[in-house]
């Protein structure tokens, strides 16, 4: 009655964890050294000391590897604050999101968002991995605020989430203005007021 056994006959040599790790490491190293645009399946394979077919066996392309590598490297999730005051919660959460983007992985995120426009299969993964989860967290913050009566009863939480993340991504992608603290503060205030 072992379901795992039934589902996975585990025939054949098991996947090499060493190779997987080597690929993750190689991808991150190359990403830092050369940037996303220079990443190639061939380059990752060579850097990782891994055969190309092994790469293609487990990942359909470069961005899929990058997403997994990012998850693999992410020590901790950005956690949702809970100060008891909606505006402050939102501002703090957006603030930490923006800091992560400006100080760290902003360029990679821009590249992945761009790639998602070209590879529909990757668009799903990207949305699931980086967009939806953060929206969910923000929406949970909003719901907490709504329960406390800090938000109109008919407020559209989805819309508010778009009002928060939209301008951030818009600035990140267009680089017409910086993602500084005062911007985030205004943004959070405007979004909550809506």
Partner DNA sequence: TATTAAGCGAGACGGTACGTCTTGTCTTGGA
Partner DNA sequence: TCCAAGACAAGACGTACCGTCTCGCTTAATA
Binding residues for DNA (CB under 7 A)? 5, 9-16, 18-20, 22, 38, 40-43, 49-54, 56-58, 61-62
Let me know: does 49 contact 151? Beta carbons within 8 Å: no
Identity of the residue, 74 or 190, whose beta carbon is nearer to its own copies in the bound complex: 190
- Tell me the window of 14-22, 67-75, 90-98, 174-182 that interacts with its own copies (CB under 8 A): 174-182
Tokens read off for 27: 């991808």
Site for its own copies in 116-145 (CB under 8 A): 116-118, 123, 127, 131-132, 135
Binding-site size, its own copies (CB under 8 A): 39
Tokens 């054949």 sit at which residue? 12
Give the C-alpha separation, 152 to 192, whole Å: 10
Out of DNA, its own copies, none, which partner does residue 127 contact, by CB within 5 to 8 A per kind? its own copies
Nearer residue to DNA within complex by CB, 52 or 189: 52
- Residue 188: count other Cβ atoms within 10 Å of its Cβ: 22
Residues 142-171 binding its own copies (CB under 8 A) are: 156, 158-159, 162-163, 165-171
Residues 135-143: contacts with CB within 8 Å, 24+ apart?
A: 135/161, 135/165, 137/78, 137/80, 137/93, 138/80, 138/90, 138/93, 138/94, 138/164, 138/165, 140/80, 141/80, 141/81, 141/82, 141/86, 141/89, 141/90, 141/93, 142/86, 142/90
Residue 62: count other Cβ atoms within 10 Å of its Cβ.
22
For residue 45, the minimal CB distance to its own copies (Å) is 13
Q: How far is the CB of 1 from its own copies (least distance, A)?
A: 28
User: Minimum Å distance from CB 27 to DNA?
Assistant: 12
CB of 106 to DNA, least distance (A): 23
* The binder of its own copies chosen from 73, 173, 180, 181 (CB under 8 A): 173
């Amino acid at each position: 009655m072992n379901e795992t056994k039934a589902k996975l006959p585990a025939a054949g040599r098991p996947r090499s964890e060493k190779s997987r790790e080597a690929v993750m490491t190689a991808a991150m190293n190359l990403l830092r050294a050369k940037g996303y645009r220079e990443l190639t399946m061939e380059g990752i394979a060579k850097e990782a000391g891994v055969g190309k077919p092994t790469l293609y066996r487990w990942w359909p392309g470069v961005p899929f590897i990058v997403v997994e590598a990012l998850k693999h490297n992410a020590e901790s999730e950005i956690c949702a604050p809970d100060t008891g005051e909606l505006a402050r919660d939102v501002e703090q959460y957006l603030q930490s999101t923006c800091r992560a983007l400006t100080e760290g992985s902003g360029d990679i995120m821009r590249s992945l968002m761009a790639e998602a426009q070209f590879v529909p299969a990757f668009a799903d993964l990207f949305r699931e991995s980086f967009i939806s989860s953060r929206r969910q967290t923000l929406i949970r913050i909003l719901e907490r605020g709504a329960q406390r009566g800090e938000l109109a009863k008919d407020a559209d939480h989805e819309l508010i989430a778009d009002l928060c993340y939209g301008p951030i991504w818009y600035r990140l992608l267009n680089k017409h203005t910086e993602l500084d603290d005062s911007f985030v503060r205004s943004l959070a205030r405007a979004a909550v007021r809506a």
